[in-house]
């Protein structure tokens, strides 16, 4: 070991393999150079103690300064003094480290792939091999400051000064590393200088002058280079310090410096797609002024108009959920799946063959037929390409699902009081599709079974009624199942037909959706039983308090609906007085209401019930108001009935004018026609009217008689009575029909029709009345003729007889009628029908006979006026002029 220690000191890093040359040893020390141990330098830290214990090595000083590398000349000299292994004796090749002149390279270092931290510096290594962990070392010897480190570099470190062997080792390694850094470049320069000197020697005195100039230049350059190198070193140290500082400092967000509009041009519209914004930005960019106006002039402008703009918050500002929410017990399905019998029972309706006729310019926009009907366009029903067509929301959704999560655009979130919810991760345009509501399609029976058995303890239900009386159960379904209810929602759940199949999806409302908004829609929730009524926590201004059904739209009460609300049945419904009646029992809605009433009484302390009670109260108040209104109407009805009936009894016609009577009669016929359709309803109505008095009873008898078969007898009697008094009547001053008259008639008719009238039927009736205005007079006349010939029964003909008209024997089969309720009588064409009785008809009335529902519109003045116009047109067209006295038409001969 002693001999080995006497070998030329060279330390090598196991990892770097770079030979570090140290000062040459005096020859005396290399006396035992031939010793084989000499060529075995300490290669492991295990040898460290022996190395450091060697006095020869302990004396060794390592130069650490930048100019430290030994010149090759010196190096060569030293090499010359080095004992060479005895060729004769040395059967062994000397160790590589002993060949001081040989420079070894580490390919990893040269390639830059070397690991920076040699194993020996690693914590574990130090712990095991050295004295304690690096951490402890660091504590006892705190790292020098960068300044001190620099000064240390300039110093020659005497290893004797270092007590701690580990630190000594580190110092040596650091010195070697520093030397390595500096030598490579400087060695090249020195090499160049040496070559020049050698060249000068070679060329002799002649070229010495030139070469000395060159040498001076090189020397200067070298000096500059070394200065540069030093400054570079300093700079690199500074850069390292900077880096360290950067590393320690927490990262700052861009938006903290640049504001909420970061990356958003002035033209940015948060509701548009990124691509659209980019496109828009490119167009408008050139116009934008880069200089901001002074605030004193711009304040108002910036607060309003074009300058007011939405911004998009960076995701990490609004995202309070850094972690993805994991929902237990949710099996994700991405499309509908039939369960049990549902597949067999499902009626696959063929999609209507209607196709849109949009042009590429229109691009299936708002006016697209398919869009209006909530049909998705595809190649079978739209001739545009997918790129041109703007009505393929489900296809769009499919494409989005393949993109990243921001394309998909929704994520589950946790709400404070509603459990999970769904939030937008992007903006959505108004009415843009967001996510499909898909799940298991089950039958009603299966739904009931699941409710009773599987979900009986659940508080959240994911059931939604679907097409074909089926239910979508999204307990296993898409993320749409988590969308919560709101009384003022920002989305809508809409059923679409896609490729002939119905599908449900959530669409953005008319306001669009901003990034980060919670998505909601109105559940219009049917709780099935009071036990399921849930308190609503939507927190909106118009919150209904419970997850209950939507209140019916409070439309402006039309004249017809006003009368509808006045009927007995409606009143009974509202007051619930007829709770024992079959009609009340049969209505599930009413059953629910009654149930809710009962529960509200029993659960006094329950806040939920209070809400329900409040709703009930509001409903009752509304009903009371309606009742008051109805009683006013009833009074009017009584007055009017008694007036009309009085005239009948006393056989004096002094309350109806010549003009109004026919219309009155035709209205009665309308009522009669209605009674034929709904005898039960009439009976109820008559029972109600019976309470009016004895006169009412007469009417009641009469009407019941009609029901039993002799429906026209009463009218005939009345007509006869009127005929008797025709002359007297014609003398009477004509009385314009009062609103009360109209009320009576409308009420009668409405009451008769009540059972069958729905808002839809009203609408359809309205629609049916409209075309008459555009009906060509001639065709109407023909229709009327046809109608009178084909459908008029003797009874109806009798009923239609105008008591004030003298039958005209000349015009056989003509139909004559006066516009009902018209203030201006329509010129009448009077024809005798085959039975010898005359009927009246206008274009409109002719049609009315075909469509009895039009009786609802009896008494509308505009119809009369329009008929007049039509007659005039006909007169003009045909050249026939009506004789006002006879009412006949004759050809004008001018
Ligand atoms: C279809 S789930 C919606 C997702 C549900 N929040 C969850 O955590 O799974 C319907 C249930 O959510 C709750 N919910 C939805 N909207 C609510 C609201 N506005 N107020 C209170 N609860 C609500 C009710 O419990 C309801 O039965």
Burial call 76-115: b when 16+ CB within 10 Å, e when fewer: eebbeebbebeeeeeeeebbebbbbeeeeeeeeeeeeeee
Name the DSSP class of 825.
P
Mutate to test the pocket of ligand 1, among 451, 464, 481, 485 (most ligand atoms within 8 A of CB): 485
- C-alpha pair distances (Å), 108 with each of 16, 111, 171, 223, 739: 8, 5, 23, 31, 107
What CA–CA distance (Å, rounded) separates 248 from 251? 9
Kindly give the number of the ligand 1 atom that is closest to the alpha carbon of 485. Answer: 16
pLDDT band at 328, cuts 50/70/90?
confident
Q: What is the pLDDT of residue 278?
A: 78
To test the pocket of ligand 1, the residue of 460, 474, 482 to mutate (highest count of ligand atoms within 8 Å of its CB) is 460
CB of 418 sitting under 6 A from ligand 1: yes
Among the atoms of ligand 1, which is closest to the Cα of residue 486? 19
Higher-pLDDT residue of 714, 300: 300
Q: Look at 831 and 317; give whichever has higher pLDDT.
A: 317
Closest ligand 1 atom, residue 483 Cα? 3
Q: Cα 682 vs. chain centroid, distance in angstroms?
A: 51
- Which pLDDT score is estimated for 406? 82
For the Cβ of 857 lying below 6 angstroms from any atom of ligand 1, the answer is no
For residue 480, is pLDDT > 60? yes
Ligand 1, atom 10, lies closest to the CA of: 460
- 523 CA from centroid of ligand 1 (Å): 10
Distance from residue 611's CA to the centre of ligand 1 (Å): 18
Q: Give the CATH number of domain 331-532.
A: 2.170.270.10
Report pTM: 0.37
- Whether 459 lines ligand 1, by a CB cut-off of 6 Å, is yes
Cβ of residue 538 lying under 6 Å from some atom of ligand 1: yes
Nearest CA to ligand 1 atom 26: 460
CB-CB contact of 45 with 120 (8 Å): yes
Regarding the beta carbon of 389 and ligand 1, being less than 6 Å apart is answered no
Instruction: State the Cα–Cα distance between residues 426 and 179, nearest whole angstrom.
Output: 57
| 491-498 and 484-485 beta bridge pairing | unpaired
Buried b (16+ CB within 10 A) or exposed e, 217-246: ebeeebeebbeebeeebeeeeeeeeeeeee
Question: Which protein residue's CA is at the shortest distance from atom 25 of ligand 1?
Answer: 460
Most confident range (mean pLDDT) of 12-26, 127-141, 170-184, 766-780 is: 170-184
For residue 851, report the phi and psi dihedrals to the nearest 5 degrees. Answer: -125, 95
Closest ligand 1 atom to residue 487 Cα is 19
Question: Of all atoms in ligand 1, which is nearest to the CA of residue 461?
Answer: 27
Q: Which of 589, 600, 609 is nearest to 546 (CA)?
A: 609
DSSP percent split of the chain into helix, strand, coil, nearest 5: 50, 10, 40
Q: Given the DSSP bridges, would you call strands 157-158 and 433-437 parallel, antiparallel or unpaired?
A: unpaired
Residue closest to 577 by CA, chosen among 611, 631, 620 = 620
The torsion angles phi and psi of 812, rounded to 5 degrees, stand at: -80, 140
Nearest-angstrom CA–CA distance, 835 and 792: 10
CA of 481 to the centre of ligand 1 (A): 9
- At residue 218 the predicted structure's pLDDT band, cuts being 50, 70 and 90, is low
Using a 6 Å cutoff on CB, does residue 419 contact ligand 1?
yes
Contacts of 372 (CB under 8 A, 6+ apart): none
Question: Is 536 near ligand 1, meaning CB less than 6 Å away?
Answer: yes
pLDDT digits (tens, 9 = 90+) for 647-694: 333 333 333 333 333 443 344 444 434 434 444 444 454 344 433 333
Residue 155 has pLDDT above 90, yes or no: no
What average pLDDT does range 383-393 have in this prediction?
92
The overall longest dimension of the chain from CA atoms, in Å, is: 166
Q: Could you identify the residue written with the tokens 């026209």? A: 712
Residue identifier of the C-alpha nearest atom 11 of ligand 1? 460
How many A from CA of 426 to the centre of ligand 1? 23
DSSP secondary structure of 70-136: PPHHHHHHHHHHSPPPPTTT--SPPPGGG-TT-----HHHHHT-S-SS-GGGSHHHHHHHTTS-HHH
Within the chain, which residue ranges are assigned CATH 2.170.270.10? 331-532
Distances (CA, A) of 614 to 542, 571, 620, 735: 14, 20, 10, 50
pLDDT, one tens digit per residue, over 54-88 is: 444 434 343 434 334 444 444 444 444 444 444 44
224: left (phi over 0), alpha (psi -120 to 50) or beta: alpha
How many angstroms does the Cα of residue 874 sit away from the middle of ligand 1?
66
What ipTM did this prediction achieve?
A: 0.99
Q: Closest Cα to atom 4, ligand 1: which residue?
A: 482
Does the beta carbon of 462 sit less than 6 angstroms from any atom of ligand 1?
yes
Instruction: Assess contact for 498 and 394: CB atoms under 8 A.
Output: yes
Q: How far is the CA of 415 from the centre of ligand 1 (A)?
A: 10
């Amino acid at each position: 070991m002693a001999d080995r220690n006497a070998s030329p000191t060279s330390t090598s890093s196991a990892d770097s393999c770079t030979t570090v040359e140290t000062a040459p040893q005096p020859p005396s020390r290399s006396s035992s150079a031939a010793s084989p141990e000499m060529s075995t330098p300490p290669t492991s830290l295990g040898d460290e103690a022996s190395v450091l214990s060697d006095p020869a090595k302990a004396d060794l000083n390592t130069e650490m300064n930048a100019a430290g590398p030994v010149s090759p000349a010196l190096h060569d000299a030293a090499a010359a003094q080095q004992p060479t292994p005895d060729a004769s004796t040395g059967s062994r090749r000397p160790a590589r480290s002993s060949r001081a002149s040989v420079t070894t390279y580490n390919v990893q270092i040269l390639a830059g792939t070397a690991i920076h931290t040699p194993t020996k510096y690693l914590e574990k290594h130090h712990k095991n091999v050295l004295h304690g962990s690096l951490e402890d070392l660091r504590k006892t010897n705190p790292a020098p400051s960068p300044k001190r480190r620099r000064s240390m570099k300039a110093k020659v470190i005497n290893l004797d000064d270092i007590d701690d062997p580990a630190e000594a080792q580190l110092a040596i390694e650091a010195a070697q590393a520093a030397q390595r850094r500096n030598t490579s470049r400087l060695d090249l320069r020195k090499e160049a200088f040496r070559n020049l000197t050698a060249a000068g020697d070679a060329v002799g005195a002649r070229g010495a002058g030139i070469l000395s100039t060159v040498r001076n230049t090189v020397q200067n350059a070298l000096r500059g280079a070394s200065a540069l190198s030093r400054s570079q070193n300093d700079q690199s140290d500074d850069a390292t310090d900077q880096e360290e500082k950067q590393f320690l400092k927490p990262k700052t967000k861009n938006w903290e410096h640049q504001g909420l509009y970061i990356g958003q041009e002035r033209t940015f519209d948060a509701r548009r797609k990124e691509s659209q914004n980019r496109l828009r930005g490119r167009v408008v960019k050139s116009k934008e002024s880069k200089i901001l106006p002074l605030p004193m002039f711009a304040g108002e402008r910036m607060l309003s108009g074009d300058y007011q703009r939405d911004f998009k918050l960076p995701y990490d500002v609004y995202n309070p959920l850094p972690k993805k929410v994991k929902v237990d017990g949710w099996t994700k399905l991405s499309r509908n799946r039939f369960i049990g019998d549902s597949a067999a029972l499902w009626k696959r309706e063929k999609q209507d063959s209607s196709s849109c006729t949009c042009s590429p310019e229109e691009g299936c926009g708002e006016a697209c037929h398919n869009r209006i009907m909530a049909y998705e366009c595809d190649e079978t029903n739209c001739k545009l390409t997918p790129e041109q067509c703007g009505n393929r929301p489900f296809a769009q959704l499919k494409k989005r699902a393949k993109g990243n999560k921001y394309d998909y655009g929704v994520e589950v979130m946790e709400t404070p009081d509603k459990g999970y919810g769904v939030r937008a991760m992007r903006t959505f345009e108004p009415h843009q599709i967001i996510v499909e509501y898909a799940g298991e399609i089950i039958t009603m029976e299966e739904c009931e079974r699941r409710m009773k058995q599987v979900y009986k303890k659940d508080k959240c239900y994911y059931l939604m009624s679907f097409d074909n009386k089926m239910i979508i159960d999204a307990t296993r379904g898409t993320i749409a199942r988590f969308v919560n209810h709101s009384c003022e929602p920002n989305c809508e759940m809409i059923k679409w037909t896609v490729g002939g199949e119905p599908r449900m999806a959530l669409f953005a409302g008319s306001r669009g959706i901003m990034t980060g908004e919670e998505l909601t829609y109105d559940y219009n929730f049917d709780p099935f039983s009071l036990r399921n009524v849930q308190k609503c926590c939507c927190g909106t201004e118009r919150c209904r308090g419970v997850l209950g059904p939507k209140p019916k739209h409070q439309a402006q009460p039309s004249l017809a609906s006003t009368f509808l609300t006045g009927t007995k049945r409606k009143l009974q419904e509202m007051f619930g007085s007829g709770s024992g009646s079959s009609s009340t029992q049969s209505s599930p809605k009413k059953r629910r209401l009654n149930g809710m009433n009962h529960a509200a009484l029993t659960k006094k302390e329950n806040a939920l019930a209070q809400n329900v009670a409040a709703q009930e109260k509001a409903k009752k108040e509304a009903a009371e108001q309606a009742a008051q209104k109805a009683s006013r109407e009833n009074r009017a009805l009584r007055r009017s009935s008694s007036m009309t009936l009085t005239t009948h009894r006393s056989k004096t016609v002094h309350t109806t004018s010549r003009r109004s009577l026919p219309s009155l009669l035709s209205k009665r016929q309308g009522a009669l026609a209605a009674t034929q359709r709904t005898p039960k309803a009439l009976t109820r109505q008559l029972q109600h009217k019976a309470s009016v008095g004895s006169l009412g009873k007469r009417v009641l008898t009469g009407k019941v008689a009609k029901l039993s078969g002799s429906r026209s007898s009463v009218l005939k009697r009345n007509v006869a009575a009127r005929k008797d008094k025709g002359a007297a009547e014609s003398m009477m001053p004509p009385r314009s029909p009062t609103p009360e008259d109209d009320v009576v008639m409308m009420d009668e008719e409405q009451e008769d029709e009540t059972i069958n009238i729905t808002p839809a039927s009203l609408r359809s009736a309205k629609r049916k009345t409209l075309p008459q205005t555009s009906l060509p007079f001639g065709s109407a006349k023909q229709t009327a003729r046809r109608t009178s010939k084909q459908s008029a029964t003797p009874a109806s003909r009798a009923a239609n007889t105008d008591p004030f008209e003298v039958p005209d024997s000349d015009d056989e089969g003509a139909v004559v009628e006066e516009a009902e309720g018209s203030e201006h009588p329509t010129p009448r064409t009077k024809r005798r029908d085959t039975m010898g009785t005359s009927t009246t008809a206008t274009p409109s009335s002719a049609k009315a006979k075909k469509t009895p529902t039009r009786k609802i519109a009896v008494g509308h003045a505009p119809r009369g006026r329009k008929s007049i116009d039509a007659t005039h047109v006909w007169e003009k067209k045909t050249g026939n002029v009506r004789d006002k006295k006879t009412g006949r038409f004759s050809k004008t001969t001018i």
